[in-house]
Amino acid sequence: MENNQSWRELADDKVEELFLGRLSDSKRCFPELMEIIVWFAGKQLLDLAEACAELLQDALKKEAAETELLLLLERRALWQFDPRVYASVCVKILADFFPERSLKQMYLAACGLQDDVLPREALRRLKVLCDLTAGKCCYEKTWGLGAVAEIDQFDRKFVINFEGKPAHRLAFGYAGEAVQPLADDNFLALKLREPEKFKAWIKANPAEAVKETIRQFGEMNLTRLRALMTGLMFAEKDWSEFWSSARAKLSADPLVAAPGNRNDPIRLLAVKKTFDEHWRGEFAALNDAEKILSEIEQLLQHYSPQKLPEDFKKAVEDRLKFVLYGLGAPRHAIIVPALLLADEAQLAAEGLFAVSAYGQPDLLASALNALPARLVGPFLAYLEKKSALGAETIPQMMAQLSAVALNEAVAYCRRNGGEEKLFNLMRTLLRERAVGIEMFAWMARNLQLVCERQVCRPDILAETALDLLKTALAVGKRKHVGQLLRLCFTNKVLLKEMLPAMSAEQRLDFSRRLALLSGLTAADKQSIAAKIILLFPDLAGAFSDPAVAVAAPKLTSWRSYRERQERFDKLIKEDIPRNSKEIGVARSYGDLRENYEYKAAREMQAVLMRRKAEYEKMLSEVKGTDFAGIKPEVAGPGASVELKLADGSGKTYHILGEWDSDEKLGIISYRSKLAEVLNGRRRGDAVELPSETSPVSCVVESVSELPPEIKAWINA
């Protein structure tokens, strides 16, 4: 066939004639014929592409060209509108192509084409299964390298001799999904067949071993490369020597794009990159956002901003505008790198994007949560340089950050003089019982610093952890439960800091409340008890005493119950229906894989459904009450407690239900730390109230029924 340039310049009907002329030798000419079909599809001539594909398909079936037929079907999947219809077409074609009742028919049934697997992925799995012949070397991420020993057609399983597990049996369906066949000349196949020769080769060619690993498993950062190679090719103790030798050779290799930091992937280049007019022309035609940003990043590694040619700078500005405005509503993960690259290239960011929008705490938190850790600090520095950050922006959005973003944002604040403001925020969140799991995790990991700066004491942090654990158990967030157990309740180091900071009475009370938590598994409770009893043997009774007081019932005032019910009704009647309409509108835009509006609407749907489940659980477990008819003798739900402080001043608290709180009126929930301290106290009892710095001593002056204004609040 004529070279690519010549036939691409022909009219469509002439290209079609060329295609038909080569069809008689379909197997030999398959690469060129496939290229023409893809070219037609790329020009949106889908009817013509499909017609040519069907002709090539028939020709390949006649030549029994299995490999080429599977590749054709896999490529056709790229432009199909209805995956299910196309999957049915593929099943019909292949069922007719493979011999009846053959092994290949079993593979066809196992690959997922007849299930919910997308056709392209199912066809990839089918190719894998067809390639796994007896004796074939392969790789699976759990078991490592192996060779196919037997194909058990009766049980529909492969028997594979893995290095760490001989004669392991894998079902056809799983093998197609997870196993990678290795070519006979693959460097890992050499390890299986001639291990000593492989050991000598990898020692003599460390850089080549890295490149072969990347070719086999794809681009990866240094952390993943180390984990993969030490688990597969040599021992962990040999890594330092290996990498020291490999790094020097990789740095000098023009076909290796070295990462900017440990989190960036090591990339292999097809040819040495040159930034010339040809590159500029190709770059100007790019329409893939991530590819555009990658090219700009490489360009700025080659040129300093001062030496960047003017026509290159214009091309960069044009493509950045395309990234920010030409793709609908771009993601934060695209916008932020684009802004940082624009700044590095010394382009006017204000002419590219409304940077000031990121001064809004909610939007900034959303953006930082979408970024890799390495970009969080640079982006905050960029916004500060552009005067886009208000004095309170960072503190206001801290409570909304993910763990990764929070760690980087805290580090940025501490480097740039915002440490005291940050600690004031933490004190406020602790006082208002609004600390989230991510903020708590940071405080727990930096307990010494938190105590030194008097943000909170270890015993207060323990109470905060218990509150978070109760909440996580109540709403069924098992991930948060596990995180809290690892961070705090089964962490001997942290327990050694928290428990000794309590009095003996506080430790006993804390342990009893832990033991009474509903929702923890027996194994979790045993683990917690073992760690605590190891430190304080006298607390063993807290985890085994059947006389421990029963936890308070889940009650709340009718006022709070109605407020929660109204929020639930709004969610059901307004928010969820509106989201359903947004999904329908977004779906009408087409191509769901690149449809940002559709993805955003579906993500919001998941949030709303999770919120709905949480409300349903809360409203079913908590009951409304007016606390009428209670004549309290001791402090507890439905009681007003008057306290006299050491300086002679007084304060009154009204203990109500699960969701009740009003600081101005002195209303507190019986779940609050203050109410838990007061619970069961009588007139004349001395108590120590929790505070941010040190406990406040006071005496219970009186315990009485709720006054009229509080009863009116309950029924409002």
Burial of 524: CB neighbours in 10 Å, binned 0-12, 13-18, 19+: middle
Measured distance CA(14)–CA(10) in Å, rounded: 6
Examine the pLDDT at 205 and tell me if it is beyond 80. Answer: yes
Alpha helices in 43-137 (DSSP H): 46-62, 66-76, 83-97, 103-110, 119-131
Tell whether the torsion through CA atoms of 160, 165, 169 and 170 is positive or negative: negative
The arrangement of secondary structure in 639-714, i.e. its CATH architecture, is Roll (3.10)
**Predicted confidence (pLDDT) per residue in 368-397, tens digit:** 888 887 788 888 888 888 776 766 677 777
% the chain with pLDDT above 70: 92
- Strand partners for 700: 643
What dihedral angle (degrees, nearest 10) is formed by the CA atoms of 469, 475, 477, 482?
20
CB-based contact 554:623 (threshold 8 Å): yes
State residue 547's pLDDT score. Answer: 40
Higher-scoring residue by pLDDT: 581, 713: 713
Q: Which pTM does this prediction carry?
A: 0.43
Query: How many CB atoms sit inside 10 A of residue 147's CB?
Result: 17
pLDDT classification of 326: cutoffs 50, 70, 90: low
Q: Is residue 107 over pLDDT 80?
A: yes
The pLDDT of residue 330 is 58
pLDDT in tens, 579-635: 888 877 777 665 555 556 777 777 788 888 888 888 888 888 888 888 877 777 778
Res. 545: pLDDT tops 60: no
- Give CA–CA dist 32/38, Å, rounded: 10
Quick one: which H or E segment has residue 705? strand 696-705
pLDDT of residue 133: 93
pLDDT averaged over the chain?
A: 83
Asked if residues 665 and 652 have their Cβ atoms less than 8 Å apart, the reply is: no
CATH class of 187-268: mainly alpha
Label residue 327 by pLDDT band (50, 70, 90).
low
Nearest 5°: phi and psi at 644? -115, 120
Residue 514 and residue 502 in contact, taking contact as beta carbons nearer than 8 Å: no
Mean pLDDT of the 478-505 span? 81
- List the structure tokens of 100: 């009846």
Assign 471 a pLDDT band (cuts: 50, 70, 90).
Answer: confident
262 pLDDT higher than 70:
no
Determine the Cα–Cα distance for residues 250 and 207; give it in Å rounded to an integer: 6
pLDDT in tens, 424-446: 888 888 887 778 888 888 888 88
Asked if pLDDT for residue 328 goes beyond 60, the answer is no
Choose among 171, 168, 193, 197: nearest CA to 182.
193
Note whether 532 and 511 are within 8 A (CB): yes
CA distances from 230 to 223, 234, 460, 472 (A): 11, 5, 43, 38
pLDDT at 82 over 80: yes
Is residue 644's pLDDT more than 50? yes
Q: Which of these ranges, 146-150, 523-527, 593-597, 697-701, has the smallest mean pLDDT?
A: 593-597
Matching residue, tokens 């199909």: 80
Q: What is the CATH number of domain 555-625?
A: 1.10.287.180
Please tell me the number of Cα atoms within 13 Å of 317 on its side-chain side: 15
Q: In what order do the strands lie in the sheet with 650-656?
A: 667-669, 650-656, 639-645, 696-705, 686-689
Residue ranges of the domains in the chain?
A: 4-131, 187-268, 273-353, 358-388+398-415, 555-625, 639-714
Q: What's the average model confidence in pLDDT over 88-106?
A: 91
Mean pLDDT value of segment 477-481? 81
Looking at the DSSP bridge assignments, the partners of residue 656 are 669
pLDDT in tens, 293-307: 878 877 887 788 788
